[in-house]
Amino acid sequence: MIVLSHVSKSYGDICALDDVTVSVSKGEFVFLVGPSGAGKSTMLQLLYREEVPTEGSVVVDNLNVTRMSRRHVPMLRRKVGVVFQDFKLLDSKTVYENVAFVLQVTGAPAPFIKRRVPQVLNLVGLSDKEKSYPEQLSGGEQQRVSMARAIANSPRIILADEPTGNLDRDSSWKIMRLLAEFNRRGATVLVATHDWPIVDAMQKRVVEIEQGKIVRDDAQGGYSGSVSSDRAIGR
Amino acid sequence: MLKGDIAEVFRLIGRSVAEGLKSIWAHGLMSLASVGTVTVSLLVLAVFLLVAANLSYVADVLESQVEIVAYCNPEFDRQWEGELLDKVESIPGVGEVLFVSREDALDRLREQFGSQADLLSAVEEDNPLRDSIEITVTDPDRIEEVAAGVSEIESIQDVAYPREVVQRLYSVTEALRAAGVALVFLLAAATFLLISNTIRLTIYARRDEIEIMRLVGASAAFIWGPLVVEGLFLGLIGAGLAGAVVSWGYADLINSLQLSLPFLPLLDTEPLMGNLIQLLGIIGAFLGLLSSWFSAQRYVRI
């Protein structure tokens, strides 16, 4: 589903990713961990072509992202749902409108939108907040709206960049459970996170990046390699 | 499939127009400033064009009134008058031809002197004037050629025509045209900057929305559509205002000028105004499209 081979990305003198090769199969759930500035965000950005690699190739769902012309970028992005730490909701629109917006701008027919929005809001447990504005919601609720928005187009891949970075424990768990639920329904999910208790508890595939290099790739592991052997202790 | 595509295009256009207009409204002051510059720029342009058009009209009128006067030999025998006129008329480029006898010429002079006509009493006994032919030309550009042809006729002693007046008028009209073109480019540049800046403001105000559109895979046309429509309408509104002001002002000016300077040749409001308003509309729309397209290309990454 996702193949990065020998990918490097540098911004001037700063090297964000250094010869990274990794692949993710269809239906996998992968945690991307590592210290801030290690290159996790850059890696996700390469997948929805917010960034283009300096070297190497990126293939997402059989599309060669590296050689893709600008005209085809929208097609790629419709296959990829992205969730951000800061939610990126439109404050002037209601919950319903925020979700409907992505369907409208990608040209979905109105009857479909009417059916689809309540569906995804129900999935994230916010059916009763349709008419609320983002600022009337808690952080966790806002992130769930942004997740409803990310899956509205039924993307095959979901990328989450620190989705729980601004949330309390309880809300964080809700978000992660939702991501796992999307994964169970068939989406390939990549989550960049610092949230070690959750990573430790979920025991999914963990790819650890440090200074732009992959230093660990456990098929089933915890947040930090050294602790993953006796993961019960945590860190 | 095709039907769906067409529906899609209409939806895209509809949404672009709705969003573009909403944005103009939302940016009250900035939109007003843009429309204002478009209006002022196009107004200056219009005034310039009107002055140029009228000057060139005046030049045309004067040019067409410019005539060659061919003076006959003092010994010219008037029984050959018809023959002489035939010769002159056979020269290519000659329009109308009028024979003015020396007596007629003296009468005209007397008329021009009016109350001081008695000054002419000294010359009345022995009229020093000569018979002459007044020749208009079909094309003012050929006046020299015609004059040369006329001067070759045997009974013609010399030929006079106001060469300098014509040439001066030409150079004034030319200079005016050149200045007009330069000014138009300058004003167009100013308008371009203001509209593209307004669009940039829209892009800034909608940056969150635009970012989400990009991230979820909205097409470039979908993102740029409203911006381009906004620019187009700013240009068109500005042009409309300029057109209204100018057509009202010109009609007024013509009326008062024709009262005080009735002999001044001025162009009528129609079809001049119709053409001018069309031109302003086209320029306004073009500038609006161009500058918003530029901003969209430049400030919205896909």
* Phi, psi dihedrals of residue A64, rounded to the nearest 5°: -80, 100
Query: What residues in B contact A63, CB-CB < 8 Å?
Result: none
Cα–Cα distance list, A95 to A101, A121, A145 (Å): 10, 9, 7
Least confident of A19-33, A80-94, B15-29, B194-208: B15-29
Measured between CB atoms, which of A70, A76, A88 is closest to B211?
A: A88
- The count of CB pairs under 8 A between chains A and B is 49
Closest Cα partner for B67 from B190, B160, B130, B178? B160
Q: Rounded to whole angstroms, how far apart are CA atoms A74 and A50?
A: 11
More confident residue, B124 or A186: A186
Q: Rounded to whole angstroms, how far apart are CA atoms B142 and B75?
A: 29
Measured between CB atoms, which of A71, A105, A149 is closest to B218?
A: A105
Right CATH for B67-161 from 3.40.630.30, 3.90.1150.10, 3.30.70.3040, 3.90.850.10: 3.30.70.3040
For the cut 50, the answer to whether the pLDDT of residue A32 exceeds it is yes
For the cut 60, the answer to whether the pLDDT of residue A55 exceeds it is yes
H helices of chain B, in order, are 2-26, 28-65, 81-89, 102-113, 121-124, 143-151, 163-205, 207-215, 220-260, 269-299
Neighbour-count burial for B137-152, b at 16+ CB within 10 Å, e otherwise: beebeebeebbebbee
* Residues B216, A71: C-beta atoms closer than 8 Å: no
State residue A229's pLDDT score: 43
Residue ranges per structural domain of chain B = 11-62+167-299, 67-161
Query: What percent of chain A shows pLDDT beyond 90?
Result: 72
Which residues are within 8 A (CB) of B284 and not within 5 positions of it... i.e. 6 or more apart? B38, B42, B235, B236, B237, B238, B239, B240, B242
Provide the shortest C-alpha distance from residue A72 to chain B (in Å).
9
State residue A230's pLDDT score: 43
B156-160, strands of its sheet edge to edge: B94-100, B132-137, B67-72, B156-160
* Residues A90, B217: C-beta atoms closer than 8 Å: no
Secondary structure element (H or E) that encloses residue A169, with its range: helix A169-184
Q: Which of B9, B11, B215, B223 is the mutation pick for testing A, counting most A CBs within 10 A?
A: B215
State residue B2's pLDDT score: 57
For the cut 90, the answer to whether the pLDDT of residue B106 exceeds it is no
**Token digits of residue A19:** 């010869």
* Residues B217, A149: C-beta atoms closer than 8 Å: no
Query: What residues in B contact A71, CB-CB < 8 Å?
Result: 220
Closest Cα partner for B26 from B239, B210, B191, B203? B203
- Closest residue on chain B to A91 (Cα): B208
Closest Cα partner for B291 from B232, B209, B250? B232
Q: Rounded to whole angstroms, how far apart are CA atoms A113 and A101?
A: 9
Contact of B205 with chain A, judged by CB distance below 8 Å, is answered with: no
Query: What residues in B contact A50, CB-CB < 8 Å?
Result: 215
For the cut 50, the answer to whether the pLDDT of residue A228 exceeds it is no
Provide the shortest C-alpha distance from residue A70 to chain B (in Å).
7
Of these ranges, A114-123, A222-231, B59-68, B179-188, the one predicted with the greatest mean pLDDT is A114-123
Q: Rounded to whole angstroms, how far apart are CA atoms B96 and B68?
A: 11
Mean pLDDT across the stretch B217-228? 86
* Residues B220, A102: C-beta atoms closer than 8 Å: no
CA torsion, ordered B292, B293, B297, B302, to nearest 10 deg: 100
Contact of B8 with chain A, judged by CB distance below 8 Å, is answered with: yes
Q: Rounded to whole angstroms, how far apart are CA atoms B232 and B239?
A: 11
State residue A206's pLDDT score: 94
How many CB atoms are closer than 10 A to CB B175?
A: 10
- Closest residue on chain A to B211 (Cα): A88
Query: What percent of chain B shows pLDDT beyond 70?
Result: 94
Contact of B208 with chain A, judged by CB distance below 8 Å, is answered with: yes
State residue A232's pLDDT score: 42
Which residues are within 8 A (CB) of A216 and not within 5 positions of it... i.e. 6 or more apart? A206, A207, A208, A225
* Residues B216, A107: C-beta atoms closer than 8 Å: no
Query: What residues in A contact B22, CB-CB < 8 Å?
Result: none
Residue ranges per structural domain of chain A = 2-233
In three-state secondary structure terms, B154 is coil
Average pLDDT, chain A: 90
pLDDT tens digits for range B135-170? 888 877 777 788 888 888 888 888 887 766 667 766
Average pLDDT, chain B: 81
β-partners of residue A31 are A191, A206
Q: Rounded to whole angstroms, how far apart are CA atoms B186 and A176?
A: 59
Mean pLDDT across the stretch B223-251? 88
Q: Would you list the DSSP string of B93-139?
A: TEEEEEEE-HHHHHHHHHHHHGGGGGGGHHHHSS-----EEEEEESS
Mean pLDDT across the stretch A11-18? 89
Q: Which of B10, B212, B216, B297 is the mutation pick for testing A, counting most A CBs within 10 A?
A: B216
State residue A226's pLDDT score: 52
For the cut 70, the answer to whether the pLDDT of residue A233 exceeds it is no
State residue B165's pLDDT score: 67
For the cut 60, the answer to whether the pLDDT of residue B174 exceeds it is yes
Least confident of A115-124, A139-148, B167-176, B249-258: B167-176
Provide the shortest C-alpha distance from residue B28 to chain A (in Å).
18
Asked whether A84 and B212 are in contact (CB, 8 A), the reply is no
For the cut 70, the answer to whether the pLDDT of residue B4 exceeds it is no
Measured between CB atoms, which of B8, B11, B219 is closest to A74?
A: B219
Query: What residues in A contact B219, CB-CB < 8 Å?
Result: 74, 107
Is omega for the bond preceding B271 within 30 degrees of 0, making it cis? yes
Which residues are within 8 A (CB) of B189 and not within 5 positions of it... i.e. 6 or more apart? none
Residues 220-279 of B with CB under 8 A from A: 220, 222
State how far Cα B120 lies from the chain centre: 46
- Domain A2-233: state its class: alpha beta
For the cut 90, the answer to whether the pLDDT of residue B264 exceeds it is no
What sign does the CA torsion over A70, A72, A75, A76 have? Answer: negative
Asked whether A182 and A151 are in contact (CB, 8 A), the reply is yes
State residue B164's pLDDT score: 67
Provide the shortest C-alpha distance from residue A224 to chain B (in Å).
31
Least confident of A56-70, A71-85, B11-25, B216-230: B11-25
State how far Cα A183 lies from the chain centre: 11
Least confident of B1-5, B29-33, B228-232, B246-250: B1-5
